[in-house]
Amino acid sequence: MIKTIRDGAPVTLNTAISPIIARYGAWAVLWAAVKRLPLAPKRRPISADTLPPYLRNDVGLPPVERPRRLPTLPPKLPPQLF
C-alpha cells in the first residue's frame, strides 16, 4: 500500500482516492489515470554521423571525411551497327 504524508500524518492511497471515486465514479477515475500514464515515445539514439560539423567540433570529434567522387564516365554513345 502506498502511503503519503499529509499534515505530518501518513495517509494511505485508499483513503485519499475514495472521495474522488465516490464523486466521479470508478470508471472515470480509472480512465483519467490511464490517460495520464507516462508513455514516452521510443527515441532512437543519436548517431554522431548525423551531427553538423560545428557540433562535432564542440564535442571533440574529428571532421567527417567527404565521400570521394567517382570519376566521371564518358557520355553514352549510340550503339554501333556493323
Q: Which residue has the higher pLDDT, 67 or 63?
A: 63
76-to-11, 63, 79 alpha-carbon distances in Å:
83, 37, 9
pLDDT band at 1 (very low <50, low <70, confident <90, very high): very low
Q: Is the overall model pTM greater than 0.75, yes or no?
A: no
Question: Which carries the bigger pLDDT value, residue 38 or residue 2?
Answer: 38
**59 inside domain:** no
Q: Whole-angstrom Cα distance, residue 49 to residue 33?
A: 40
Residue 4 lies in a domain: yes
Domain count, the chain: 1
Residue 13 falls inside a structural domain: yes
Judge contact between 50 and 44, C-beta under 8 A.
Answer: no
- Domain of residue 7, residue span: 1-37
pLDDT tens digits, 12-57: 778 888 889 999 999 999 999 888 888 777 777 778 888 888 988 9
Instruction: Give domain status of residue 48, yes or no.
Output: no
